[in-house]
Chain A
């Protein structure tokens, strides 16, 4: 017995899974057509202050008239929404889900609005063997955060990716014309090595690297009235040299809730994100 091939049978495939996936991508592209630039904020490991930098840059840009949105793509550990003072619920209309409004009018969507306080990200199904398709579930959620939100016209959409390189491929699949990425590191060599892996992943994917921000780059000692290092190492400089990108800022550690750098610093980082890399294209 010989069978015809799938394509030899001319009738339509009712499921048309390939077409459904293509439609999902097209939906994201349509939604982001009104967004001038999409920039990823990345790190190598958690706890470096990536979300803090995202929030501060977004607010600084918005303060000066830039229309800014933030996607909190760190689904399991969402923090940037609260840093911006954005809260749910998310209003749903026929056209999509309206983003929450944060400091300076920054438009925000985050899993923080979805999860009960203190509860981890959990999926309804599948209950067994969910490790097999957890990545697919998270990528689908990111797709909706990008494509189902009524962003409106934006000059800049920042995507706060989870630590590491995993989120890079998900994002570049959904936004092929990503404008660029900003890497955030601690000064330590360990952080630098970890961030380097993510930066390599970005470069391999053809994503422009817009610069590095070194966070917790020392602190001011009131007793001795001098700036002191908090970590050994100079990862910011090392990464900037290795990847030939600018070190956009060193942000000192400050235990207060206030941004630990002058407003000009954040504004200059925002300017680099608005001007560097590539336009998103049609």
Chain B
């Protein structure tokens, strides 16, 4: 999918993605010439249809995790997966989790929790973030396109 600024006949550039609620997927685009902005709002059915293929609207920011599709989509047993501990960062230290972030992580279904923890851990480690907070999680969700996590 490409967005064209009709006034400038220029391809618009992706700016950001959001999930504003009720399953809507939103992405905004800007014209590099005139600065005109538009937002694409995909209804949940469209998003789900694409998601059923295991692909991501807006492209992938992260390599696909092992069995990511199954873990995100199947209603599974809590102890189905034994996840290796998240990798340490460049400095050899694993980011800490704030109490609020731990609480939020605990609300993620156990079936997928280990994978989600690993993704947030790597996101923080790569950016030198010492502590994962709910704000860091929100930022990661938006930047990495972690819908449903």
Chain B residues with CB below 8 A from A133, complex form: 48-49, 52
Q: Cβ of B127 < 8 Å from any Cβ of A?
A: no
Chain A to chain B: the 5 pairs with minimum beta-carbon distance, closest first: A126-B48, A133-B52, A11-B11, A136-B52, A20-B55
Within 8 A of B (CB), among A72-128: 88-97, 111, 113-117, 119, 121-126, 128
**Which residue of chain A has its CB nearest to the CB of B11?**
A11
User: Given A20-B56, A125-B48, A92 and B75 touching (CB < 8 A)?
Assistant: no
Q: Cβ of A13 < 8 Å from any Cβ of B?
A: yes
Chain B residues with CB below 8 A from A111, complex form: 74
Within 8 A of B (CB), among A12-43: 13-17, 20-21, 24, 27
Q: Cβ of A9 < 8 Å from any Cβ of B?
A: yes
How near does chain B come to A73, taking the closest CB pair, in angstroms?
13
**Which residue of chain B has its CB nearest to the CB of A125?**
B48
Q: Are A14 and B59 in contact, with the CB atoms below 8 A?
A: yes
How near does chain A come to B75, taking the closest CB pair, in angstroms?
4
Q: Are B74 and A114 in contact, with the CB atoms below 8 A?
A: yes
Q: Cβ of B67 < 8 Å from any Cβ of A?
A: yes
Stretch from B79-87, B88-96, B97-105, B129-137 contacting the other chain: B79-87
Q: Provide the B54-83 mask, 1 if CB < 8 A to any CB of A, else 0.
A: 111111100010111110111111011111
Alpha-carbon separation in the docked complex, A115 to B76 (Å): 5
Alpha-carbon separation in the docked complex, A97 to B64 (Å): 13
Alpha-carbon separation in the docked complex, A97 to B66 (Å): 6
Identify which of A6, A14, A114, A129 contacts B76 (C-beta below 8 A).
A114
**Which residue of chain B has its CB nearest to the CB of A134?**
B52
Q: Are B84 and A17 in contact, with the CB atoms below 8 A?
A: no
Most buried by A among B58, B64, B80: B80
What are 30 sample pairs from A and B whose C-beta atoms fall under 8 A apart? Answer: A1-B6, A3-B4, A4-B4, A11-B2, A11-B11, A15-B58, A16-B59, A88-B79, A92-B84, A92-B114, A92-B115, A96-B66, A115-B76, A116-B76, A121-B74, A122-B74, A124-B73, A124-B75, A125-B48, A125-B73, A126-B48, A128-B45, A132-B49, A136-B49, A140-B52, A140-B53, A143-B54, A144-B67, A148-B67, A148-B68
Identify which of B58, B72, B80 contacts A90 (C-beta below 8 A).
B80
- A sample of 14 more A-B contacts (CB under 8 A), given A91-B84, A140-B70, A148-B67, is A6-B2, A17-B53, A24-B54, A88-B81, A89-B82, A94-B66, A95-B66, A111-B74, A116-B77, A124-B148, A125-B48, A136-B52, A140-B53, A140-B69
Identify which of A1, A15, A94 contacts B84 (C-beta below 8 A).
A94
Identify which of A13, A95, A123, A126 contacts B75 (C-beta below 8 A).
A123
How near does chain B come to A83, taking the closest CB pair, in angstroms?
19
Identify which of B52, B57, B83, B148 contacts A137 (C-beta below 8 A).
B52
How near does chain A come to B87, taking the closest CB pair, in angstroms?
7
Within 8 A of A (CB), among B24-50: 44-45, 48-50
Q: Are B45 and A126 in contact, with the CB atoms below 8 A?
A: yes
Alpha-carbon separation in the docked complex, A37 to B113 (Å): 35
Chain B residues with CB below 8 A from A94, complex form: 66, 84, 87
How near does chain B come to A109, taking the closest CB pair, in angstroms?
9
How near does chain A come to B32, taking the closest CB pair, in angstroms?
10
Alpha-carbon separation in the docked complex, A13 to B81 (Å): 35
Q: Are B81 and A141 in contact, with the CB atoms below 8 A?
A: no
User: Given A122-B74, A124-B74, A125-B51, A90 and B44 touching (CB < 8 A)?
Assistant: no
Q: Are A125 and B148 in contact, with the CB atoms below 8 A?
A: yes
User: Given A9-B11, A92-B114, A132-B49, A17 and B74 touching (CB < 8 A)?
Assistant: no
Q: Are A92 and B81 in contact, with the CB atoms below 8 A?
A: yes
**Which residue of chain B has its CB nearest to the CB of A24?**
B54
Chain B residues with CB below 8 A from A115, complex form: 74, 76-77
Q: Are B54 and A140 in contact, with the CB atoms below 8 A?
A: yes
Alpha-carbon separation in the docked complex, A137 to B57 (Å): 17
Alpha-carbon separation in the docked complex, A58 to B140 (Å): 44
